[in-house]
Amino acid sequence: MITIPRLKNTDSSMFLLMAGPCAIEGRDMAMRIAETITTLTDKLRIPYIFKGSYRKANRTKIDSFTGIGDEKALKILKEIGDTFQVPTVTDIHESHEAALAAEYVDVLQIPAFLCRQTELIAAAARTGKAVNVKKGQFLSGASMKFAVEKVRDTNPASPVLLTDRGNSFGYGDLVVDFRNIPEMAAFDVPVIMDCTHSLQQPNQSSGVTGGKPRLIETIAKGAIAVGADGLFIETHFNPAEAKSDGANMLPLDQLEDLLKKLVRVREAIL
């Protein structure tokens, strides 16, 4: 398992979980979600990283929700990390954001559409924080070796993770190719499966991305079965009211049952 400050329960026999809301919509909402998931992962001894975007830059429509303010959202992420003693992860979109976000979170995430942006990856690595690079929907797992090299060549001390989130299938759908998991694992990095974004249906005529959340369990089980080191799951108390990506989120009250099933899958393959 990768070394990240405050990451608990790092038994190599268990998968890592990155989970939380798509975006930080407010303090109370974020704290409630973090408390619920922390309690659950502590009970199941699952290493946990709280996920929340402090700002959403990749939106289809100009009037889509992007955030509550950068510093306000980042301070909430820091409060969550300090309160529950768990690492936190957020995505960055431009090079100048890396140093700012690194003051508040433990892991910097490179969005899939930006995984070829050399300066962005290098800026994240220069902070010394762990860097989670999402595989582009347009790339194979094997091609992500260059993203890994960019992090390691910039700062060998910066841990790197790779996350799959499906591949484009036509104009408005994604498919998951599980071959990508062992291909990326060959680079000696933890490989995470994004079980929610991989079920998106992008480029809808409404300008709002659709999704197939009923298949989250299917994708998660498959990823664990083929050797994924961790799972990425966006979750919310009420996805229908979420301000971002609600169409592919897991309702939070379904997370415990799902994790218990995945623990059994993990135990069965070891």
For the segment 14-26, the average pLDDT, to the nearest whole number, is: 96
Structural domain range at position 161: 16-269
The predicted pLDDT at position 60 comes to 64
Span 57-84, average pLDDT: 87
**7 assigned to some structural domain:** no
Check: CB of residue 159 under 8 Å from CB of residue 133. no
**Tell me: the pLDDT tens digits for 81-108?**
999 999 999 999 999 999 999 999 999 9
Confidence of residue 209 (pLDDT cuts 50, 70, 90): low
**Is 74 within a domain?**
yes
CA 92/CA 124 separation, integer angstroms: 9
Helical axes 216-225 vs 255-269, angle rounded to 10°: 20
Please report whether residue 1 resides in a domain: no
pLDDT tops 70 at residue 179: yes
In this structure, is residue 10 part of a structural domain?
no
Give me the number of domains the chain comprises: 1
**Does 120 fall in a domain?**
yes
For residue 194, pLDDT beyond 90: yes
Residue 3 lies in a domain: no
In a domain, 8, yes or no: no
Are 79 and 32 in contact by the 8 Å Cβ rule? The answer is no
Mean pLDDT along residues 153-173: 94
Distance CA 115, CA 117 (A): 6
- Cα dihedral sign for 54, 242, 26, 78? negative
Residue type, 96: H
The pTM score is: 0.94
Q: Which segment of 41-55, 167-181, 191-205 scores lowest on mean pLDDT?
A: 191-205
At 16 the pLDDT is: 97
Q: Residue 58: which of 117, 107, 103 has the closest Cα? A: 117
Neighbours of 179 (CB within 10 A): 12
When the pLDDT of each residue in the chain is averaged and rounded to a whole number, the result is 93
Interacting residues of 139 by C-beta distance below 8 A, sequence separation 6+:
115, 167
In a domain, 69, yes or no: yes
Instruction: List the CATH number of the domain containing 120.
Output: 3.20.20.70
3-state secondary structure 38-76: HHHHHHHCCCEEEECECCCCCCCCCCCCCCCCHHHHHHH
pLDDT for position 256: 98
Cβ proximity of 262 and 226 under 8 Å: no
pLDDT tens readout for residues 132-149: 999 999 999 999 999 999
pLDDT band at 210 (very low <50, low <70, confident <90, very high): low
